[in-house]
Amino acid sequence: MLGNEAIAHACVEAGIDFASGYPGTPSSEVVDTLRRQKVRDFYIEWSVNEKVAFENALGAAWTGVRSLVTMKHVGLNVAADPLMTSAYTGVKGGFVILSADDPYAHSSQNEQDSRVYAHFARIPCFDPAGVQEAHDMMAAAFSLSEEFSLPVLFRPTTRVCHSKSDVELGEPAGDHRKGSFEKDPKQYVVIPAHTRILHKKLNEKQAALAKRLVELGFNRYEIKGKTGIITSGIASEYVNEIVPGDVSVAKIGAYPIDEEWLVGFVSKHETILVVEECAPVVEEVVRQVACETVIHGKKDGCVPYEGELDPASTAAAFEKAGIPYNGDFPGDISPAEGLPPRPPILCAGCGHRATFYAMKRIFGNKGIYPSDIGCYTLGLQLGAVDTTICMGASITIGSGISNAGDENPVVCTIGDSTFLHTGIQGLINAAYNGANMTVVILDNRITAMTGHQPNPNTGVTAMGDPSPAISLEALCRTCGVSFVETIDPYDYVTMIETFKRAKETPGVKVIISRQPCVIDARRRGIKRKHYFVDAETCTGCGVCVKYGCPAIEFIDEKASINSLCSGCGVCADICPQGAIRSEVKR
């Protein structure tokens, strides 16, 4: 079972009543699994962003129900505002914040560590080492949240979320609670007079909390010799795989770490190596409590700060710290050289590619192209993405560049889901402050990159109920934009004409390029005729191949179209020879 599926099942076992989230790899399958349950007796939603998801789930927890909110690590930045103060207000029903970290940034813009947020907010944090433990910790996370009336952070990493393993599951909870909000302004209204008291109460919980995590067995150790390893999360699996029998191991599964307990381990060893991924969270506590023991870890270069660990890199850390290990990891290994790379690319027939192509035709190499987070970040390969930093930042970075005085045309690209996430505010701001720029909303009606989750633009909720699809046109006009045009990316000629008009018009222009995601369209049974290249007419000029569609190949100096073709027909429009045509049924 996939880690995220096991986590979702554990939530059902814990009897959750409310779940919300914003999709983000590697966290998305938790809510996706929950919403696909055949029998579902709890509320679930995909929210428009992580702050919104967080506050919804917090409100639910204040009514006494068990509530879950999911996001990826960078999503927690968006939700950080309510996070920090929710630690003060506390909760009534169990409230678990799942924030999945992505060491090695497999599909993320950074490698930040959610454990630091838990420390910052002074709330407990669970750090599972594998699929089974992620499952088992979830029930504990809900009950600990209720025991201490605190939000609990749950932090799996990519190799937990997207690992499969045999798992022992429990039974789904039978009964559910119904939310009922009891007014208590001293708890829920954080005016200064209240919040000063709440802050003191939060701090007073810490010592008992740390002790409780040891009692519950999440932080544990076994002393075997004068050398010890302290490890956390999935790194503890790599340690277990290679650690010799006479080396002690302490496993940190939850935070805050009880310092008295930790001293009991550290002081009995001459040498200690701390092995963890991401930030040196455990290591800093260990260094604080260590007196005479020599501590190795990230700070002395034994363990890398960046990327993810594996058995071989863990063995390398042992070696640097002078600790023997089991196993044979050949050191002189390097991948084969000179192979052509195979990066992920936009699908055959993806509307984003056509939009990028037309956009570049009109705005050229001098155009400045801030972009955003989604499939379309892959437009980098088409030379159509100049900046990406975080969700919603295409429009704001663009208006910043425009208002800083750069006179080159600024053309931002942003997906529909990302626009609804945090793009709107940037558009309001750009229109209000008189930026000169074009905003292209790449509208494929769904949140495609993370696995096709619905959003307010899709016309259906996470529960599968129909909901009115939002009008992006009306929304953009309301934001103060008068040039709002909708185009079909498969209609190349109109696209070119619309981009030209946008270039000639001053102020903020919005172009909505709308065509359903090809993967989603295919699943819904939409079929188009394939295209083919007439070899007689093809001169081998290579224009279509530069377009970068995976359905177009170049064989023996001529273009040809393979079975990936989804029939968008844009290549037929861009071929200067007219050599590409629609297949005729015989």
Question: What residues line the site for other proteins (CB under 8 A)?
Answer: 25-26, 106-107, 130, 159, 162-166, 234, 237-238, 240-241, 308, 310-313, 326-330, 333-336, 338-347, 375, 378, 381, 449-450, 545-546, 548-550, 552-554
The helix-helix angle for 131-148 and 192-215 (nearest 10°) equals: 130
Question: How far apart, in whole angstroms, are the C-alpha atoms of residue 101 and residue 157?
Answer: 5
Taking the least distance from each CB to other proteins, the nearer of 77 and 377 is 377
Instruction: Indicate the residue among 39 and 339 with the shorter CB distance to other proteins.
Output: 339
- Residue 235: name the closest of 304, 308, 167 by CA: 308
Shortest approach of other proteins to residue 290 CB, angstroms? 27
Query: Contact at 8 Å (CB) between 358 and 502?
Result: no
Secondary structure, 3-state, 541-558:
CCHHHHCCCCCEEEECCE
Quote the DSSP letter at residue 157: B
Q: Is 565 within any annotated ligand binding site?
A: yes
Is 375 annotated in some ligand binding site?
no
* Beta carbon nearer to other proteins, 205 or 452: 452
At how many degrees (to 10) do helices 114-121 and 281-289 cross? 50
Cis peptide before 192 (omega within 30 of 0): no
Residue 341 or 466 with smaller CB distance to other proteins: 341
As given in the structure block, the two tokens for residue 264 are 């009991």
User: Is 538 flagged in the annotation as binding?
Assistant: yes
Nearer to other proteins, 390 or 508 (CB): 390
Residue 575, annotated as binding a ligand? yes
Q: Report the first-to-last Cα separation within the chain, whole angstroms.
A: 47
Q: How far is the CB of 282 from other proteins (least distance, A)?
A: 18
Q: Which is nearer to other proteins, 28 or 149 (CB)?
A: 28
Read off the tokens for 356: 């990028």
CB of 264 to other proteins, least distance (A): 26
Do the Cβ atoms of 120 and 79 come closer than 8 Å? Answer: no
Shortest distance, CB of residue 415 to other proteins, whole angstroms?
14
Name the minimum Å distance from CB 163 to other proteins.
4
544 is in an annotated binding site: yes
* Of the candidates 433, 409, 439, the residue with the CA atom closest to the CA atom of residue 503: 409
Q: Is 568 annotated as a binding residue?
A: yes
> Alpha carbon of 148 to those of 123, 209, 211, 340: distances in Å?
10, 8, 12, 55
**Which one, 76 or 214, has the nearer CB to other proteins?**
76
Checking DSSP bridges between strand 67-72 and strand 125-126, what pairing results, if any? unpaired
For residues 240 and 94, what is the distance between their CA atoms, to the nearest angstrom?
32
Please give the backbone phi and psi of residue 11, each rounded to the nearest 5 degrees, phi first: -65, -40
Please check if 125 is assigned to a binding site: no
Least distance (Å) from other proteins to the CB of residue 205? 33
291 is in an annotated binding site: no
Residue 102 CB, nearest distance to other proteins (Å)? 9
Q: Which residues are annotated as a binding site for [4Fe-4S] cluster?
A: 538, 541, 544, 549, 565, 568, 571, 575
